[in-house]
Every structure is written in structure tokens, then in C-alpha cells.
């Protein structure tokens, strides 16, 4: 609490008075908003009323503490992104992402502070410059023009955050909020699967405002699982351990109920990575054994059935899609078929490849490396792999005697698990993927900001 007070500048009497005034205005505004919602009875009216009531205090928070709002709210809502569609403008998280980038840039300009981006930024820039250039030779240019902006928006937010200075205490709050959002999403998914009779069969979580793909829903739980497992073995606080156990139960249950084999393998990759890198191997081994036994008891039959089906249908046709994708890569191996054009390259190779399991026309790649290789050629695939490797190497600035070392291990494990998930799903345009990159950048920047502050302290 003292950290929050200091961060918001409430120790300053003048600023404290301003905040108290804003709180009073907000309370009165919420009362008015409640009345407006009751009278309007529409979603649009409710949104407008809340914006009118909360606009001023939220704008103040965005100026003073942009990582607290809107960035933390953005990260909190990312796991439920598919359910937050608001029409032509996209999703709520898309709006918050743009607002976050603007608020963070304004904050850095106002304080004249910034951190030099990591070397991984070079590879990301090269990748997206090459993707933009591929429009000149794309099989279907309109598709390339429509697809690229989505990923560029995610990269744009990451680019801003890669330069944002942050202290360790605020980093901890951002990470906590990101975990909390994932646990809330997992709990909602657990509740949905157990209250909807058709949910387990359909596997999609649906609502009036959109749906959550089960593979992506499961993959969005990978990083928070890594964070909870690491916190569980490193913390000495009893209440923190209880909270981590509860959160971990909800997250793992959500992965299990989603039925995503890629997410399940990614969780296994997280545990293997931590067993290799973390010194708490005995605790992790016991925990892994208990979790595996719990999964077998609660839904072992369903899990075994899901994996056994892979032997029959090639993982819902993935092996045949990859076989056709490799043929498409042979046809476009140098420059690629153009960004967003994997389905078109797939169609051209479809007729020439035997399929034991019919996968239909115009399919997605279900593999980020194959996706990049077909769309951007061998050059784009090298840029993508180099960017992921450089992303992993960013955290080397945190030594093993640093208090942030457990966070480093969790982020590395989450990144490794997410890459495994990326071997079975197209995750590069998903916000939860960029959440991992964002937290890695913030962890790195916390270390660099502290070092820079020490250098400038007068003797």
C-alpha cells in the first residue's frame, strides 16, 4: 500500500488533495452512471455512462501511473480477449492496448526518461520490415494488407514498453495483476465448462460478445502457471503459498477442461525447464508428481482419449496440414508467399500431397515456424527464430543472486512453454504471446533502470 501511495504521488499534500477531489467526483459520477444505466437499459448506454463517470480519474491515473492503468487492466483482460468484442473497433483489449501505448509514451516524454531497447528489438524490426516488403510479391495482396496491421499493433505496444523505465515494486504489481487476470479467466472457464451441457463437446467458450478458442484459452494459461509454480517453491510466506496453490489449481483445471493437447505439452515443457534450471528440484519433482496424479484421477480418461485420437487423425489433421505446408514451403522457400498468405500457398500445394486424413482447403498452419517459412521464406523464418532466442537471452541481465531471479526463471519457462504451444497453434497474433514478451521487457528494464539510477546518484 505504501508503494502504491508513493507511486501515485500521494505523499505530496497538493496532489493528495487533487486525488481526494477526484475520488469524490468519481463516487458521485458512479451514482449518476448507475442511474443512467438503469434508465437506458442498453449496453451502449451503460458503457457511455461508465466512461463519463470514470473518465477523469482514469485519465489522471494514466498520466501519473500508466503501468497501473491502463496497462495493468489490459494485461488483466488479455486471457478473456475473445469474449470482449465491442463491434467495429475490435475488442476492449485492443482499445486498452492503444491507450496504454499512448499513456506510456506521454509518461516517458513528460519525465524525459527511457530505457534503451534490448537487442531482440533488431530482429523483431527486421521481421516486420520483411513482412511489409512481402506485400509486393504476395499471392493475394489484399489479404496481406488486412492481416499485417493486427500484428503490427501488438508489436507497437511491445516496442513502447521495451523502452519504458519501471521500478521493481511496480513490476511486481504488474506481474501480480497479470496472474490475477489469468486466474479469473481460468475460474470463469472452469465454471463455464461445468455449467454448459454442450461446452465439453464443443470446447469453445462462447458468449454474446465472442468466443474463446480452446487451444488459445489453454495456451494463455502457460505463463501464469509458470509464475505460480515458481512463486510456490520460492516464497516462504504461508498465505502466498496458499494463494499460489489455489490459482494453480484453477489454471491447470482450465487447461485440462480446454482439451488442448498443445497446451498440455507446453505445461509439461514448463515443468521440465524448471526441473533443469531451478535449484528446488525436489519440491518441483514432488509437485509435478502430485499434479500428474491429480490430473489422471480427475480426468485421466479424457486426457488419454484426446492424445490417443492424435494417432488416428494426426492431431485434428495437423500432421497432414504440416505435410502440405512443407510442400508449399518448397514452392516459396526463398521469399515466401507473402504475409497472411499461408492458406493460399496451402491451397496451391493441397492437390499434390496425399492425405490420410482429409483436412479441407484453405487451412491455417498450426505452427509458427512453418507459418513464417511459408509466408516469409527462409529469411522470415530465421528472423522469427532469432527474435525468440534473443527474447530468451534478454533475461541474462538478472543474475542468480538477484531477488528477481525467480521471476526470470518463471518468464524463461513460460517462454519455452509458449514456444512449444506455438508448434501446434498460430499464436503470433495472440495477445497472450505478447504478454510474455512485455513482462520480459519490463523485468529487464527494472534492472537497467535501477543501474542507471545508481550511476546518477551524487557521491
User: What is the Cα–Cα distance from 227 to 176, expressed in whole angstroms?
Assistant: 9
Specify if 33 maps to a domain. no
- Percent of the chain residues topping a pLDDT of 90: 59
pLDDT of residue 210: 79
Stretch (H or E) spanning 318: helix 281-331
Q: Please check the confidence at residue 125 and state whether its pLDDT lies above 50.
A: yes
Q: Does 294 map to a domain?
A: yes
Q: What is the mean pLDDT of residues 40-50?
A: 54
Residue matched to cell numbers 497472411 = 340
Structural domain contains residue 48 = no
pTM, to two decimals:
0.88
Domain hosting residue 413, numbered range: 118-455
Residue 2 pLDDT > 50: no
Average pLDDT over residues 218-238: 95
pLDDT band at 57 (very low <50, low <70, confident <90, very high): confident
408-421: buried (b, 16+ CB within 10 Å) or exposed (e) per residue?
A: bbbbbbbbbbbbbb
In this structure, what are the phi and psi dihedrals at residue 207, rounded to the nearest 5 degrees?
A: -155, 175
- For 278, half-sphere exposure in the C-beta direction (CA atoms, 13 angstrom radius) is 29
Quote the CA–CA distance of 95 and 90 in Å, as a whole number: 8
Residue 7 lies in a domain: no
What cell does 250 get? 484453477
Residue 1 lies in a domain: no
Per the listing, cell 486471457 goes with: 79
Phi, psi angle pair for 91, to nearest 5°:
-105, 165
- Whether residue 441 is contained in a domain is answered as yes
Q: In the prediction, which pLDDT does 47 show?
A: 55
Q: Establish if 205 belongs to a structural domain.
A: yes
User: Does a structural domain hold residue 61?
Assistant: no
The whole-angstrom separation of Cα 407 and Cα 227 is: 7
Pairwise CA distance, residues 17 & 12, whole Å: 9
Reported confidence tier of residue 294, pLDDT bands at 50, 70, 90:
confident
Look over the chain and give the mean of its residue pLDDT values, rounded to a whole number.
Answer: 84
> How far is the CA of 380 from the CAs of 137, 138, 261, 320, in angstroms?
14, 14, 27, 23
The answer to whether residues 418 and 269 touch, using CB atoms and an 8 Å cutoff, is: no
The pLDDT confidence band at residue 274, using thresholds 50, 70 and 90, is very high
What H or E segment, with its residue span, contains residue 152?
helix 141-161
Residue labelled with grid coordinates 489433421: 317
Q: Quick one: how far is CA 175 from the chain centroid?
A: 12
Structural domains of the chain, count: 1
Amino acid at each position: 500500500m505504501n508503494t502504491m501511495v508513493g507511486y501515485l504521488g500521494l505523499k505530496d499534500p497538493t496532489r493528495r488533495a487533487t486525488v481526494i477531489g477526484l475520488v469524490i467526483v468519481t463516487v458521485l459520477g458512479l451514482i449518476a452512471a448507475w442511474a443512467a444505466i438503469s434508465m437506458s437499459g442498453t449496453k451502449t448506454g451503460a458503457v457511455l455512462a461508465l466512461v463519463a463517470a470514470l473518465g477523469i480519474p482514469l485519465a489522471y491515473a494514466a498520466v501519473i501511473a500508466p503501468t497501473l492503468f491502463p496497462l495493468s487492466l489490459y494485461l488483466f483482460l488479455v486471457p478473456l480477449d475473445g469474449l470482449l468484442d465491442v463491434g467495429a473497433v475490435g475488442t476492449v483489449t485492443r482499445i486498452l492496448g492503444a491507450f496504454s501505448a499512448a499513456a506510456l509514451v506521454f509518461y516517458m516524454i513528460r519525465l524525459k526518461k527511457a530505457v534503451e531497447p534490448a537487442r531482440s528489438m533488431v530482429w523483431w524490426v527486421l521481421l516486420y520490415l520483411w513482412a511489409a516488403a512481402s506485400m509486393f510479391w504476395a499471392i493475394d495482396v489484399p489479404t496481406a494488407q488486412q492481416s499485417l496491421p493486427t500484428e503490427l499493433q501488438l508489436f507497437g505496444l511491445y516496442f513502447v514498453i521495451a523502452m519504458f523505465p519501471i521500478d521493481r515494486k511496480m513490476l511486481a504489481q504488474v506481474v501480480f495483476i497479470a496472474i490475477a487476470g489469468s486466474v479469473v479467466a481460468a475460474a470463469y472457464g472452469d465454471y463455464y465448462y461445468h455449467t454448459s451441457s454442450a461446452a465439453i463437446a464443443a470446447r469453445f467458450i462462447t458468449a454474446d460478445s465472442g468466443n474463446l478458442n480452446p487451444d488459445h484459452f489453454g495456451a494463455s494459461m502457460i505463463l501464469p502457471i509458470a509464475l505460480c509454480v515458481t512463486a510456490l517453491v520460492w516464497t516462504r510466506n504461508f498465505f502466498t503459498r496458499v494463494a499460489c496453490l489455489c490459482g494453480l489449481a484453477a489454471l491447470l483445471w482450465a487447461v485440462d477442461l480446454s482439451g488442448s493437447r498443445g497446451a498440455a505439452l507446453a505445461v509439461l515443457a514448463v515443468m521440465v525447464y524448471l526441473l533443469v534450471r531451478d535449484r528446488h528440484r525436489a519440491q518441483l519433482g514432488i509437485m509435478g508428481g502430485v499434479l500428474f496424479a491429480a490430473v489422471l484421477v480427475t480426468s485421466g480418461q479424457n486426457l488419454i482419449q484426446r492424445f490417443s485420437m492424435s494417432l488416428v487423425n494426426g492431431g485434428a489433421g495437423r500432421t497432414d496440414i504440416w505435410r502440405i505446408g512443407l510442400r508449399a514451403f518448397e514452392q516459396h522457400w526463398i521469399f515466401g508467399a507473402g504475409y497472411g498468405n499461408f492458406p493460399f500457398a496451402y491451397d496451391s500445394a493441397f492437390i499434390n500431397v496425399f492425405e490420410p486424413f482429409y483436412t479441407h482447403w484453405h487451412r491455417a498452419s498450426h505452427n509458427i515456424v512453418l507459418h513464417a517459412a511459408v509466408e516469409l521464406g527462409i529469411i522470415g523464418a530465421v528472423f522469427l527464430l532469432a527474435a525468440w532466442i534473443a527474447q530468451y537471452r534478454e533475461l541474462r541481465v538478472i543474475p542468480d543472486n538477484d531477488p528477481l531471479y525467480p521471476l526470470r526463471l518463471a518468464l524463461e519457462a513460460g517462454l519455452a512453454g509458449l514456444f512449444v504451444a506455438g508448434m501446434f497453434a498460430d499464436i503470433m497474433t495472440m495477445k497472450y504471446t505478447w504478454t510474455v514478451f512485455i513482462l520480459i521487457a519490463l523485468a529487464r528494464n527494472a534492472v537497467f533502470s535501477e543501474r542507471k539510477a545508481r550511476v546518477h546518484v551524487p557521491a
